[in-house]
Amino acid sequence: MKYPKYNYRSESSLQFFEFISEGPKGLIKKMVIYTETTTENVYNLGFGDYNESTNGINDLSVTNNGDSQKVLATVASTIYAFIEKHPNAWILATGSTSVRTRLYRMGITNNLTEIEEDFIILGYSKREEWEKFVVGEDYEAFLLTKKENKN
Amino acid sequence: MTIEQTIEKLNKSKVPIIVIDKKLERFKGQNLFPEKLKRANEILAKTGLPKITDFR
Protein backbone atom coordinates (compact mmCIF):
# COMPACT_ATOMS: atom_id res chain seq x y z
CA MET A 1 0.00 0.00 0.00
CA LYS A 2 1.20 3.48 -0.74
CA TYR A 3 0.49 4.79 2.77
CA PRO A 4 2.99 4.88 5.62
CA LYS A 5 2.80 1.99 8.02
CA TYR A 6 3.87 1.15 11.54
CA ASN A 7 6.70 -1.24 12.28
CA TYR A 8 5.48 -4.37 13.97
CA ARG A 9 6.54 -7.39 15.97
CA SER A 10 5.66 -10.99 15.27
CA GLU A 11 6.62 -14.51 16.27
CA SER A 12 8.27 -17.21 14.21
CA SER A 13 5.10 -18.47 12.47
CA LEU A 14 4.12 -14.90 11.45
CA GLN A 15 0.52 -15.45 12.56
CA PHE A 16 0.48 -12.99 15.47
CA PHE A 17 1.44 -9.37 14.88
CA GLU A 18 1.56 -6.44 17.27
CA PHE A 19 2.07 -2.75 16.63
CA ILE A 20 1.47 0.55 18.41
CA SER A 21 -0.91 3.15 17.03
CA GLU A 22 0.26 6.67 17.83
CA GLY A 23 -2.10 9.64 17.85
CA PRO A 24 -4.03 12.17 19.92
CA LYS A 25 -5.50 9.39 22.06
CA GLY A 26 -2.04 8.18 22.97
CA LEU A 27 -0.28 4.89 22.30
CA ILE A 28 -2.66 2.03 21.58
CA LYS A 29 -1.47 -1.53 21.14
CA LYS A 30 -3.05 -3.26 18.13
CA MET A 31 -2.94 -6.89 17.17
CA VAL A 32 -3.43 -8.67 13.87
CA ILE A 33 -4.01 -12.42 14.11
CA TYR A 34 -4.34 -15.12 11.48
CA THR A 35 -6.28 -18.10 12.83
CA GLU A 36 -6.74 -21.46 11.14
CA THR A 37 -10.32 -22.10 10.02
CA THR A 38 -11.86 -25.54 9.64
CA THR A 39 -10.89 -25.43 5.94
CA GLU A 40 -7.31 -26.38 5.23
CA ASN A 41 -5.07 -23.47 4.25
CA VAL A 42 -7.74 -20.87 4.99
CA TYR A 43 -6.98 -18.41 7.78
CA ASN A 44 -9.25 -15.89 9.39
CA LEU A 45 -7.81 -12.39 9.73
CA GLY A 46 -8.75 -10.60 12.92
CA PHE A 47 -7.50 -7.30 14.26
CA GLY A 48 -8.31 -4.97 17.09
CA ASP A 49 -7.07 -3.21 20.20
CA TYR A 50 -5.20 -5.35 22.70
CA ASN A 51 -6.38 -5.04 26.29
CA GLU A 52 -3.54 -5.81 28.71
CA SER A 53 -5.80 -6.28 31.72
CA THR A 54 -8.05 -8.91 30.10
CA ASN A 55 -5.39 -10.31 27.76
CA GLY A 56 -8.09 -10.01 25.10
CA ILE A 57 -8.71 -8.12 21.90
CA ASN A 58 -11.50 -5.68 21.30
CA ASP A 59 -12.38 -5.75 17.61
CA LEU A 60 -15.40 -3.49 18.09
CA SER A 61 -13.55 -0.46 19.38
CA VAL A 62 -13.31 2.70 17.32
CA THR A 63 -10.07 4.26 18.50
CA ASN A 64 -10.26 7.57 16.60
CA ASN A 65 -6.52 7.97 16.94
CA GLY A 66 -6.36 9.87 13.66
CA ASP A 67 -4.32 7.19 11.90
CA SER A 68 -6.86 4.83 10.36
CA GLN A 69 -5.12 4.87 6.94
CA LYS A 70 -1.80 4.03 8.57
CA VAL A 71 -3.38 1.29 10.68
CA LEU A 72 -5.08 -0.21 7.62
CA ALA A 73 -1.83 -0.03 5.64
CA THR A 74 -0.07 -1.83 8.49
CA VAL A 75 -2.71 -4.55 8.59
CA ALA A 76 -2.37 -4.93 4.80
CA SER A 77 1.37 -5.15 5.17
CA THR A 78 1.03 -8.07 7.59
CA ILE A 79 -0.80 -9.91 4.80
CA TYR A 80 2.36 -9.74 2.69
CA ALA A 81 4.45 -10.97 5.61
CA PHE A 82 2.02 -13.78 6.43
CA ILE A 83 1.71 -14.91 2.81
CA GLU A 84 5.48 -14.92 2.46
CA LYS A 85 5.58 -17.51 5.24
CA HIS A 86 2.39 -19.35 4.18
CA PRO A 87 2.42 -19.06 0.38
CA ASN A 88 -0.54 -21.39 -0.24
CA ALA A 89 -2.80 -19.72 2.28
CA TRP A 90 -6.13 -18.07 1.66
CA ILE A 91 -7.06 -15.21 3.99
CA LEU A 92 -10.66 -14.59 4.91
CA ALA A 93 -11.66 -11.31 6.55
CA THR A 94 -15.04 -10.33 7.91
CA GLY A 95 -15.72 -7.02 9.58
CA SER A 96 -16.87 -7.17 13.18
CA THR A 97 -19.41 -4.46 12.36
CA SER A 98 -20.83 -3.08 9.12
CA VAL A 99 -18.69 0.04 9.69
CA ARG A 100 -15.55 -2.08 9.99
CA THR A 101 -16.54 -4.06 6.87
CA ARG A 102 -16.96 -0.79 4.96
CA LEU A 103 -13.53 0.28 6.21
CA TYR A 104 -12.03 -2.93 4.79
CA ARG A 105 -13.87 -2.33 1.51
CA MET A 106 -12.55 1.23 1.30
CA GLY A 107 -9.04 0.03 2.04
CA ILE A 108 -9.27 -2.56 -0.73
CA THR A 109 -10.86 -0.10 -3.17
CA ASN A 110 -8.18 2.55 -2.58
CA ASN A 111 -5.41 0.04 -3.23
CA LEU A 112 -7.05 -2.34 -5.68
CA THR A 113 -4.55 -1.87 -8.49
CA GLU A 114 -1.63 -2.66 -6.21
CA ILE A 115 -3.41 -5.56 -4.49
CA GLU A 116 -4.29 -7.15 -7.83
CA GLU A 117 -0.64 -7.13 -8.87
CA ASP A 118 -0.01 -9.88 -6.33
CA PHE A 119 -3.36 -11.29 -5.21
CA ILE A 120 -6.74 -12.49 -6.31
CA ILE A 121 -9.36 -10.84 -4.15
CA LEU A 122 -12.96 -11.98 -3.87
CA GLY A 123 -16.01 -10.62 -2.08
CA TYR A 124 -18.77 -12.66 -0.43
CA SER A 125 -21.91 -11.21 -1.98
CA LYS A 126 -25.46 -10.92 -0.71
CA ARG A 127 -26.23 -13.88 -2.99
CA GLU A 128 -23.97 -15.85 -0.65
CA GLU A 129 -21.34 -16.61 -3.24
CA TRP A 130 -17.79 -15.53 -3.91
CA GLU A 131 -17.23 -13.14 -6.77
CA LYS A 132 -14.28 -11.14 -8.01
CA PHE A 133 -14.12 -7.93 -5.94
CA VAL A 134 -16.04 -5.13 -7.65
CA VAL A 135 -15.63 -1.53 -6.53
CA GLY A 136 -18.84 -0.17 -5.00
CA GLU A 137 -20.35 -3.59 -4.26
CA ASP A 138 -21.37 -4.46 -0.73
CA TYR A 139 -19.69 -7.56 0.71
CA GLU A 140 -19.90 -9.33 4.03
CA ALA A 141 -16.48 -10.92 3.77
CA PHE A 142 -13.34 -10.87 1.66
CA LEU A 143 -11.11 -13.70 0.52
CA LEU A 144 -7.62 -13.27 -0.79
CA THR A 145 -4.82 -15.49 -2.03
CA LYS A 146 -1.64 -15.15 -4.03
CA LYS A 147 -2.11 -15.24 -7.80
CA GLU A 148 0.42 -18.07 -8.00
CA ASN A 149 -1.63 -20.25 -5.63
CA LYS A 150 -2.54 -23.46 -7.46
CA ASN A 151 -5.55 -24.14 -5.16
CA MET B 1 24.32 -2.47 -2.77
CA THR B 2 24.99 1.01 -1.37
CA ILE B 3 23.35 2.29 1.82
CA GLU B 4 21.22 4.65 -0.30
CA GLN B 5 20.02 1.73 -2.44
CA THR B 6 19.30 -0.34 0.65
CA ILE B 7 17.29 2.48 2.21
CA GLU B 8 15.39 3.04 -1.03
CA LYS B 9 14.60 -0.67 -1.24
CA LEU B 10 13.40 -0.73 2.37
CA ASN B 11 11.24 2.34 1.86
CA LYS B 12 9.55 0.73 -1.15
CA SER B 13 9.07 -2.59 0.60
CA LYS B 14 5.52 -3.69 1.26
CA VAL B 15 6.64 -5.26 4.53
CA PRO B 16 8.45 -3.20 7.17
CA ILE B 17 11.27 -4.70 9.19
CA ILE B 18 9.72 -7.31 11.46
CA VAL B 19 11.02 -7.72 14.98
CA ILE B 20 10.59 -11.30 16.17
CA ASP B 21 9.15 -11.36 19.67
CA LYS B 22 8.82 -14.76 21.30
CA LYS B 23 6.39 -13.33 23.85
CA LEU B 24 3.74 -13.32 21.13
CA GLU B 25 3.84 -17.09 21.06
CA ARG B 26 1.68 -17.05 24.20
CA PHE B 27 -1.33 -16.40 21.95
CA LYS B 28 -0.89 -19.68 20.06
CA GLY B 29 -3.87 -21.98 20.52
CA GLN B 30 -6.14 -19.20 21.75
CA ASN B 31 -9.28 -18.26 19.85
CA LEU B 32 -9.23 -14.50 20.20
CA PHE B 33 -11.94 -13.80 17.64
CA PRO B 34 -14.54 -16.52 18.31
CA GLU B 35 -17.47 -14.78 16.58
CA LYS B 36 -15.49 -13.92 13.47
CA LEU B 37 -14.01 -17.38 13.27
CA LYS B 38 -17.45 -18.94 13.65
CA ARG B 39 -18.83 -16.80 10.83
CA ALA B 40 -15.82 -17.55 8.63
CA ASN B 41 -16.35 -21.27 9.16
CA GLU B 42 -20.07 -20.93 8.41
CA ILE B 43 -19.35 -19.17 5.11
CA LEU B 44 -16.72 -21.74 4.16
CA ALA B 45 -19.05 -24.61 5.07
CA LYS B 46 -21.70 -23.14 2.82
CA THR B 47 -19.59 -22.18 -0.18
CA GLY B 48 -16.42 -24.20 0.11
CA LEU B 49 -13.23 -22.73 -1.22
CA PRO B 50 -13.71 -21.22 -4.69
CA LYS B 51 -11.64 -22.48 -7.59
CA ILE B 52 -8.92 -19.96 -8.20
CA THR B 53 -9.00 -20.74 -11.92
CA ASP B 54 -12.54 -19.32 -12.09
CA PHE B 55 -11.18 -15.89 -11.21
CA ARG B 56 -7.97 -15.63 -13.16
Q: Which value does ipTM take for this structure?
A: 0.87
pLDDT greater than 90 at residue B5: no
* Burial status of residue B12 (CB atoms within 10 A of its CB: 0-12, 13-18, 19 or more): exposed
Which of the four pLDDT bands, split at 50, 70 and 90, describes residue B11?
Answer: low
Beta carbons of A150 and B52 less than 8 Å apart: yes
pLDDT greater than 80 at residue A73: yes
Residues in chain A, total: 151
Residues A145 and B52: beta-carbon distance below 8 Å: yes
Partners of B36 on chain A (C-beta within 8 Å) are 44, 46, 59, 94, 96
Q: What angle do CA A19, B12, A28 make, to 5 degrees?
A: 15
Left if phi > 0, otherwise alpha if psi is -120 to 50, otherwise beta: which for A66?
A: left
- Confidence at residue A97, expressed as pLDDT on a 0 to 100 scale: 78
Cα separation, A105 vs A41, in Å, equals: 23
Beta carbons of A130 and B47 less than 8 Å apart: yes
pLDDT greater than 80 at residue B49: yes
Global pTM value? 0.89
pLDDT greater than 90 at residue A96: no
